[in-house]
Amino acid sequence: MLRAAERHYVLQVTRGPDVQIIASRVELAVDSESRRRGLLGRDHFDEGAALIIAPSSAIHTFSMRFAIDVVFVSRDGRVRKTYSAVGPRRIAVSFGAFAVIELPAGALSGSFLKAGEILQLVSR
């Protein structure tokens, strides 16, 4: 996954026979520069978008202009912890997480994503 940052991905969770799309446009931040930059400097975060920062077990929203939903996952994509509507000037942490997924605020309210579920990054 991390070696193919230029590909187009969809982030999804499978529940039995059902597949739910969590984000239809996924951006990867997998090098030092893009991980440091994250969403800083942006005025908004489009619905259906996601930013995956890896490796990372903590994020901050200092200097951000909007709230985000946050999902921490293990190396295999298993959800470890979620945070909803993390506003500016906050810190979110999940010790032992491999990556963090940032989503527009409210994105988690429709997914009912739970700890233990496995997210999949699928190439389009």
What CA dihedral angle connects 7, 12, 67 and 2, to 10 degrees?
-40
Q: Which one-letter DSSP state was computed for residue 1? A: -
Taking 70 as the threshold, does the pLDDT of residue 3 lie above it? no
Residue 96 sits in which domain range? 9-123
The tally of domains found in the chain comes to 1
Mean pLDDT computed over 62-85 = 95
Bridging pattern class, strands 25-29 and 49-53: parallel
Domain-located, residue 13? yes
Distance CA 78, CA 89 (A): 27
The domain that holds 76 is classified in CATH as: 2.60.120.1140
Confidence of residue 1 (pLDDT cuts 50, 70, 90): very low
Q: Which tokens in the block code for residue 112? A: 């009912």
Domain-located, residue 50? yes
**What is the model's pLDDT at position 73?**
98
Q: Which tokens in the block code for residue 85? A: 């509507």
Domain-located, residue 66? yes
Confidence of residue 32 (pLDDT cuts 50, 70, 90): confident
Q: How far is CA 45 from CA 11, 65, 72, 122, in A?
A: 16, 10, 18, 21
Lowest-pLDDT range, 10-19, 26-35, 47-56, 99-108? 26-35
Q: Nearest 5 degrees, angle CA 113-CA 61-CA 48? A: 40
